[in-house]
Amino acid sequence: MTQKSNIKVVIAAQIGIFFFGVVFFVLGTILNALGLTSAQSSTLASSLPLGVLIGSLVFGPIIDRYGYKILLVGAAAMGVVGLEILAFTNSFGAMVAAILLIGTCGGMLNGSTSALISDSSEGKARTSNLFVLGLVYCIGAIVITLIMTLLYDIVDYHKVLMVMGFLMATAMLYFIAIRFPEAKCKQGISFKSVIKMIKEPTLIIFSLALAFQSGLEALAATWTSKYLADIGYVGRMALVASIFIPVGLAISRASLIGLSRKVSSKAIVLTSMAIAVVGIICLFTANNAIMTIIGTTLIGMGLAATFPATFGILGEKYSEMSGTAFSFALTIALIGNTLLNKLVGTLGTGSLLYVMLGSIVLLVVLFLIGCSTIKPEKVIKG
C-alpha cells in the first residue's frame, strides 16, 4: 500500500477504536435512566460482554479470509442499528437485542482495529501505534461519559444516542470509501494451520496473561467504586475517585507512545505492573480522598501497557494470521475477565485487594514465560 493509503487505513483504525470506547461505555451512562428492574438491568448488563465475546470470536477469521472492509463496515452497521434501536425503543426485548448488537460491534471493532494497526506497522512502530490506538479508545470512553454527564439534565439520552448512531453511520461511509489491506488467506484458512497456531506455547501463554490483564481492568472498572462505597465513601466521591482509573490509563498510554520505540515491551510491562501494585497499595491503605485518587490514577496508569505491548509481540510473530491470533487471544482474555469478576462477586469486595495483587503476580510470571518462548525468526503462516 502507498503511504497515503496507509494513513487512511490508520485513521480508519483510530475511528473504529474511538467508537468502541463509545459503545462499550454507553450502557453504563444510561442504565439508571432506562427505568428497569434490578433483574432487567442485570440481564441488559450481561448482554454487553456476551456480544463482545461473539464479536471477538468471529472478527479474526473474517479479516484473514475476506479482508478488513467487510468486517469494519458490518461492525459499524451493527453499531448504528443497535444505537438507533436503543434510542427509539421502550421494549425490554428490543433493548437486549440492541445491546447484543452494540457488544458484537464493539468486539469486532476492538480486535480488528488492533490487527489493522499491527498489519500496517513494522518493528518498534507497531507497539507505539498500538499505544496510540489504546489512547484513542480512552478518549472515546471519556467523551461519551462526559457527554452523558454534562447533558444529563439538559438533553434526553435518546437524542444523544440518535446523534451517536448518525456519526457512526458517517464512519461506516468512510470505511466503504477507502482501500484496506488485502485478505491474507483469500484461498481459505487451513483448519490445520489454525490448530497448529493455537497450540503454540507463545500464543497460549500470552493469551493467559491477557486473561489476567482483562480481569484486572474489569475489577478496577467494576468494583473500585463499590469497594469505596462499602468502606464509607459517599456515592459521588466513590464515583469521582473511580473515574481517575481511565484518566490514568490515558495518561500512561500517551506517555508510552514515544517511550515504546526506545524501551522493550518486557521492561514497559514490568514497570507498569509495579506502578499498578503501588496504586493498589495506595488505594487500600488510603485514609483520605487525595490518597484514594492517587491510588486509582496509578492503577489506571499501571494497567495501560499490557494489551498494546502483547499485541505488538503477537502481531509480529503471527503476522500471516494476525486476525485469527488476536481473535483467540481476546476470547481467552474475555473469559478471564468474566471469571475474575465472578470470583470477586462471590467473595465480596473484601477480597478485591488480594485478587488484584494475585492476578498481577500471575500476569507477570506468564508474560515473562511468554517472552522466553519468542523466536523472532519463526513466523506462523496460514
What own/partner pairs with CB < 8 Å and gap ≥ 24 does 112-115 have? Answer: 112/16, 112/59, 112/63, 112/68, 112/71, 112/72, 112/75, 112/323, 113/13, 113/14, 113/16, 113/17, 113/20, 114/17, 114/311, 114/315, 114/326, 115/59, 115/60, 115/63, 115/315, 115/322, 115/323, 115/326
Q: Look over the chain and give the mean of its residue pLDDT values, rounded to a whole number.
A: 85
Q: Does the structure show a pLDDT above 80 at 31?
A: no
pLDDT of residue 251: 92
pLDDT of residue 5: 59
Q: How sure is the predictor about 3, in pLDDT bands with cuts at 50, 70 and 90? A: low
pTM: 0.80
Q: How sure is the predictor about 198, in pLDDT bands with cuts at 50, 70 and 90? A: confident
Q: What percent of the chain has pLDDT over 70?
A: 90
H/E segment holding residue 190 = none
Provide the grid cell at 132: 496510540
Provide the grid cell at 146: 462526559
pLDDT in tens, 62-114: 998 889 999 999 999 999 999 999 999 989 999 999 999 999 999 999 999 99
pLDDT in tens, 205-234: 999 999 999 989 888 877 777 777 777 765
pLDDT of residue 234: 54
Query: What is the rounded CA–CA span in Å between residue 61 and residue 327?
Result: 8
**Positive or negative torsion for Cα 183, 121, 318, 70:** negative
Q: Does the structure show a pLDDT above 50 at 380?
A: no
Which domains are assigned to the chain?
1-189 (1.20.1250.20), 190-382 (1.20.1250.20)
Amino acid at 4: K
pLDDT of residue 169: 96
pLDDT of residue 274: 97
Q: What percent of the chain has pLDDT over 90?
A: 41
pLDDT in tens, 310-366: 998 998 888 878 888 999 999 999 898 888 888 888 888 888 889 999 999 999 999
Query: What is the rounded CA–CA span in Å between residue 271 and residue 153?
Result: 42
Provide the grid cell at 324: 485469527
Query: Which segment of 46-55, 148-157, 244-253, 269-278 scores lowest on mean pLDDT?
Result: 148-157
Sequence-distant (6+) residues with CB within 8 A of 311 are 114, 118, 130, 326, 329
Provide the grid cell at 275: 506502578
Sequence-distant (6+) residues with CB within 8 A of 202 are 314, 317, 370, 373, 374
pLDDT of residue 238: 58
Q: Decide which of 112 and 33 is more confident.
A: 112
Query: What is the rounded CA–CA span in Å between residue 325 and residue 319?
Result: 9
Q: How sure is the predictor about 378, in pLDDT bands with cuts at 50, 70 and 90? A: very low
